[in-house]
Amino acid sequence: MKISCGFLIQPVKVQLFFQFEINISLASKNQSYSMKQTNVCIVGAGPAGAIAALFLAKEGINCILTDKAKFPRDKICGDGISGWVVSILYELDKNLLLRLAKQSFLLHSYGIRIVAPNSKYIDLPFPDNNLIENNIPPGFIARRIDFDSFLIEEVKKHSEIEFLEETEISQYQYENTGIVLSDKNGSIQIDAKIVLFANGANSMFMKDPGGIIKDKKYTMTGLKAYYKGVAGFHPQNYVELHFLKKLLPCYFWIFPLPDGLANVGVGLDQYRISKKKINLKEKILEAIETVPYLKERFANAEMVSKIQAYGLPLWDRKRRISGDRYMLTGDVASLIDPVTGEGIGHAAISGMLAARQAKRSLKANNFTADFMEQYDKSIYDKIGKELNISSKIAKFIKHAWLFNAVVNRTVNSKTLQHRLSLAMSDLEVRKRLKKPSVYLKVLLGR
Ligand SMILES: Cc1cc2nc3c(=O)[nH]c(=O)nc-3n(C[C@H](O)[C@H](O)[C@H](O)COP(=O)(O)OP(=O)(O)OC[C@H]3O[C@@H](n4cnc5c(N)ncnc54)[C@H](O)[C@@H]3O)c2cc1C
């Protein structure tokens, strides 16, 4: 017997139907179902969910962390893990970060290469946040199958966290004392005082209860494949963003990985993909075969995986990301940077801040939407400005001629390179970059 979508929108019916189905299954298969109770249930054990669970454990707060997958599992991604992740893990547990930095699946990365449509490039070192002396890099690159599993192994060390793999949550129901979550056939039910929805870009909870309707203009489809034998990387493993004219404001990326591997991919907003009937898979192959400098670098390279696609919900505006007894985190809250496509760092931040809000709510025994709104505020205080600036910079990037001109001038100016390098971490500098006058000054050589 199947539960249709109609039942999901009508919670009372769901409940009735549920009881009915449970009785049948109990009678026919002699199967039992469990009702678990917890302070916090986290749906999804990607970076947002796993990091939220670890911060809760640090505070001694019990939680249940569920994931539909069995770990280790892959996640389609560019595998670039930014300084935000480094600083959040540092805040969580310095030793954990030191352990991570030593893993052989991880490549330390010290900068970013930005290639303009005219193929001129600038190399911008990541600012050193005083961690390098401890052999902790300012950023790194690691296949998600390895990075996410590393976090899950940490999760398993904590008795405060009950980790349920292969548990897909598909329904929620408000009760007097909390929210009851359950899987499709009700074989598991979790009664939680607070729920963190952390189940990624395709989450059904983004819309209900979250109220977020995806806009194709701000939802990107990203494609990635692993290659072996790509030549010409920066000796300090810079991540590379190639702004090819046909893809602006999106980009083609090449991120080096250990063992001579590279993550190669491309992303474009779904509005243009469907309007112009763009085949993104062809775009990757076309770029490699026709852009002269890429052709040269891929001359001896070989694709060693399938090309895979997944959605990226980009940040487009401030909106509510919490409500009565729940918070949206990571991709469910649409927190991906609209210029860089960076989502792991923001997922980590939201996991940390959601755990802090859960602590406040439990202490005050207040789970109302009004009280939960402190979570939204904490997110926007931390990354709201950055996201806002990025969405303005995205507009400038659309113009290939202006992008080319600015890169041309920057290539020859150490001062400008330094300024752009700073802009990656200094919000005040980045703020200036969103003003057209800054680019005018660059062009005029001031
Ligand atoms: C092609 C591509 C390239 C990208 N490149 C980068 C990059 O280089 N750097 C970067 O920072 N970001 C990148 N991103 C974005 C990044 O992947 C996401 O922002 C990040 O994974 C979000 O983390 P999350 O924890 O919110 O969700 P996810 O990592 O998606 O984790 C969600 C988890 O929820 C589980 N789940 C799903 N549904 C359910 C359910 N119903 N019940 C229980 N569990 C469930 C899933 O199995 C998964 O484990 C890229 C994205 C794409 C698509």
Q: Nearest 5°: phi and psi at 70?
A: -105, 130
Cα of 52 to ligand 1 centre, how many Å?
14
Cα of 331 to ligand 1 centre, how many Å?
7
N-term to C-term CA, the chain: 70
Residues contacting 364, CB < 8 A, separation 6+: 371
Tokens of 15: 């409940």
Indicate yes or no: pTM above 0.85.
yes
pLDDT at 413: 63
> d(Cα 132, Cα 214) in Å, to the nearest integer?
39
Name the band, by pLDDT with cuts 50, 70 and 90, for residue 421: low
| Ligand 1 and 77: CB distance under 6 A | yes
> d(Cα 121, Cα 291) in Å, to the nearest integer?
14
pLDDT in tens, 423-446: 555 545 544 554 444 544 544 444
Strand pairing report for 34-43 and 63-66: parallel
Name the band, by pLDDT with cuts 50, 70 and 90, for residue 80: very high
Cα of 332 to ligand 1 centre, how many Å?
9
Mean pLDDT of 298-320: 96
Which residue CA neighbors atom 53 of ligand 1 most closely?
310
| Ligand 1 and 68: CB distance under 6 A | yes
pLDDT in tens, 6-25: 223 233 323 323 323 333 34
> d(Cα 229, Cα 219) in Å, to the nearest integer?
31
Name the band, by pLDDT with cuts 50, 70 and 90, for residue 401: low
Q: Which residues face 174 on adjacent strands?
A: 179
- Residue of 55, 70, 77 best suited for mutating to test ligand 1, as the one with most atoms within 8 Å of CB: 77
Three state DSSP letters for the chain = CCCCHHHHHCHHHHHHHHHHHHHHHHHHHCCCCEEEEEEEEEECCCHHHHHHHHHHHHCCCCEEEECCCCCCCCCCCCCEECHHHHHHHHHHCHHHHHHHHCCCCEEEECEEEEECCCCCEEEEECCCCCCHHHCCCCEEEECHHHHHHHHHHHHHCCCCEEEECCCCCCEEEECCCCEEEECCCCCEEEEEEEEEECCCCCCHHHCCCCCCCCCHHHEEEEEEEEEECCCCCCCCCCEEEECCHHHCCCCEEEEECHHHEEEEEEEEEHHHHHHCCCCHHHHHHHHHHHCHHHHHHCCCCEECCCCEEEEEEECCCCCCCEECCEEECHHHHCCECCCCCCCHHHHHHHHHHHHHHHHHHHHHCCCCHHHHHHHHHHHHHHHHHHHHHHHHHHHHHCCHHHHHHHHHHHHCCHHHHHHHHHHCCCHHHHHHHCCHHHHHHHHHCC
pLDDT at 306: 96
- The atom number, within ligand 1, closest to the CA of 168 reads 42
pLDDT at 45: 98
DSSP state of 390: H
pLDDT in tens, 23-71: 334 333 445 667 999 999 999 999 999 999 999 999 999 999 999 999 9
pLDDT in tens, 235-254: 999 999 998 887 776 789 99
Instruction: Name the most confidently modeled range: 77-86, 135-144, 199-208, 384-393.
Output: 199-208
- The atom number, within ligand 1, closest to the CA of 330 reads 26
| Ligand 1 and 111: CB distance under 6 A | no
- Residue of 8, 68, 253, 264 best suited for mutating to test ligand 1, as the one with most atoms within 8 Å of CB: 68
Residue 412 has pLDDT above 90, yes or no: no
Strand pairing report for 139-142 and 121-125: unpaired
